[in-house]
Chains A and B, each alone.
Chain A
Amino acid sequence: MSVLTAAIGAELSKIKSSRIVRLVTGVVLGLHLLIGAANLGDTTTAVRNIGADGLIEIFAGERVLAGEALVDLLIASSLQIVVMFLPVVAAVIAGQEFLQGQLAQSVLSVPRRGILVTAKAVALVLYIGVVAVLVEAISSAYLYASVQDWNPGLVYAAGTLAEQARLLALAVLVSLVSFAITTLARSTLIGVVVSVLLMALTMTQVLARTVPSVDALLPVSAGRNLVLDAADADLSSGPVRAAVVLVAWAVVSTLVAGVVLSRRDAR
């Protein structure tokens, strides 16, 4: 156990002391701050115009229940960052291992490769978890700024927090998939490209429109099915199936990465 905790600590040190990882994380958070700031005015205006009937017009011509619509907006604003960029951060972290023989040094330090991969996965989950919480906190702060005169409690209502928790799980799981793919491919670039392809498959809804049962098996689609509301979006499966698919992707891909790393020579 102490071997594992030491290895996790070392992996966290690696992540934190890498300039490129800090840079990419900073860019992602900065982008999220900018997008949020750009939308703040519109959302605040929409909230100010909520009628006596409690309906809000966020998209022109569509009047919907304000509370639900604002929470959906909150989740959607974090979702795009989480799905598009956190897998990239994960790929950058995982790809560091294949630069300049870093992997050989890692295996010298922690020769039990099962422990090494477990430590890496845990450290990644912790780091991505913190970044995802920051993303959600930024989204929440903007929402708070918009709704403070109407219903500030909306931001920390139990229902809102539950949705945030699901989004956090999604962030961690899709990042683990990206980490595993990068480790298998031994390349940040391939990890990023595959992550972007998986995301594009989901976002363009190509499979969802033609073969929804296959779409439901994709990790990003499963994530979308998990956090979005069937009433507002076309989903290819229910939330439980989506959770199973997403967890299976993360666990299986990480296991495969672990087994392959164990069998290959460390170079």
Chain B
Amino acid sequence: MIEFKGVTKRYGAKTAVDAVTFAVRPGRVTGFLGPNGAGKSTSLRVLLGLDHATSGEALIAGKRYRDLTFPLRTVGALLDGAGPVPDRRGADHLAWIARSNRIPRSRVGEVLEAVGLTDAARQRTGRYSLGMRQRLGIATALLGDPEVLILDEPVNGLDPDGIRWIRSFLRGYAGRGRTVLLSSHLMTEMADTADDVVVIANGRIVADGALADITEGHPSLEDAFFALTGAASKQVWS
């Protein structure tokens, strides 16, 4: 269970996220949707204790992220601003992370296998392609076999095979009663993956509910998205 309670984040004069409040339930895939610059990454960074909220709080299982002991065993996260150092080997990158949370070393091989990076384990991550880096990020999130998965734009850089794999993987993950929150600025990919959606535009939540309810009265999720975020999207695209 993830709860945002009135989270506001300002960077100087810029309000990136404004009184964001919503909850994410276990056993479902929740899509966090919004156009570029809407405040998705910022919300997730606050949730994960990377950025300090200007006001409000975000909790996971009733606790702030930083109050979790060995947090990677409860929460797995993929963020675009949290990559591996290029001169380290992929397996070594996972190894130090595992060690920091007393996760058995054997998990490193398991998650590499799960994301299809076994052959690249001994390569330095500076040599990885965009998609391989993304896979390594997903492997990192899975390392602690967490109850809660938080993925910021997980399909970025993935090929069609990778996209199909992550979709069915996430559906299976939520199917086992776990919590999955994933952000995206692409509607089409959410239509087949998410049970619930939370839509953010200009730092504010504009819709929150079951996918079916949000799309009701619109020909597609994409139409619903443009209707909900219209003003914000025009700013970006016009």
Residues on A facing B (Cβ under 8 Å): 2-3, 6-7, 9-11, 13-14, 17-20, 96, 99-102, 104-105, 107-112, 263, 265-267
Contacts and interface: CB of A to CB of B under 8 A. Distances in A.
B77 interface: yes
Given A13-B92, A20-B87, A104-B82, A111 B65 contact: yes
B85 A99 contact: yes
Nearest to B48: A108
B140 A105 contact: yes
A14 B52 contact: no
B70 A105 contact: no
A96 B86 CA distance: 10
Given A2-B102, A17-B89, A266-B51, 8 more contacts: A3-B69, A6-B101, A13-B92, A101-B81, A102-B84, A111-B68, A111-B71, A265-B51
Contacts, number: 94
B102 A6 contact: yes
Nearest to B95: A13
Interface in B94-121: 95-97, 99-102
A10 B99 contact: yes
A100 B126 CA distance: 10
A107 B45 CA distance: 11
A242 to B, nearest CB: 36
B83 A101 contact: yes
Given A102-B85, A110-B100, A19 B124 contact: yes
B164 interface: no
Given A101-B83, A267-B81, A111 B66 contact: yes
A139 B70 CA distance: 43
Contacts of B52: 263, 265
Given A10-B100, A108-B50, A265 B45 contact: yes
Given A3-B69, A108-B72, A18 B51 contact: no
Contacts of A110: 100
Contact of B83 (A19, A100, A263): A100
B49 interface: yes
Given A6-B70, A6-B102, A111-B68, A100 B96 contact: no
B79 interface: yes
B88 interface: yes
Contacts of A266: 50-51
B51 A14 contact: no
Nearest to A6: B102
Given A99-B86, A100-B85, A17 B95 contact: yes
Given A17-B92, A265-B45, A266-B50, A101 B82 contact: yes
Interface string B48-60: 1111100000000
Contacts of A17: 88-89, 92-93, 95-96
A163 B72 CA distance: 45
A212 to B, nearest CB: 43
A119 to B, nearest CB: 8
A19 B96 CA distance: 15
Nearest to B51: A265
Contacts of A111: 48-49, 65-66, 68, 71
Contacts of A102: 82-85
A12 to B, nearest CB: 9
A96 B84 CA distance: 10
Contact of B85 (A6, A11, A13, A18): A18
Nearest to A263: B52
Residue from the set B50, B66, B70 with the largest chain A CB neighbour count within 10 Å: B50
Contacts of B50: 104, 107-108, 265-267
Contacts of A101: 79-83
Contacts of B95: 13, 17
A6 B140 CA distance: 17
A195 B85 CA distance: 24
B30 to A, nearest CB: 20
Nearest to A267: B81
**Most-contacted residue by chain B among A13, A100, A109 (CB, 10 A):** A109
21 contacts: A6-B99, A6-B101, A6-B102, A10-B97, A10-B99, A11-B96, A14-B88, A17-B93, A17-B96, A96-B85, A101-B79, A101-B83, A102-B82, A102-B84, A104-B81, A105-B83, A108-B77, A108-B82, A109-B71, A109-B72, A109-B97
Contacts of B71: 108-109, 111
A13 B91 CA distance: 12
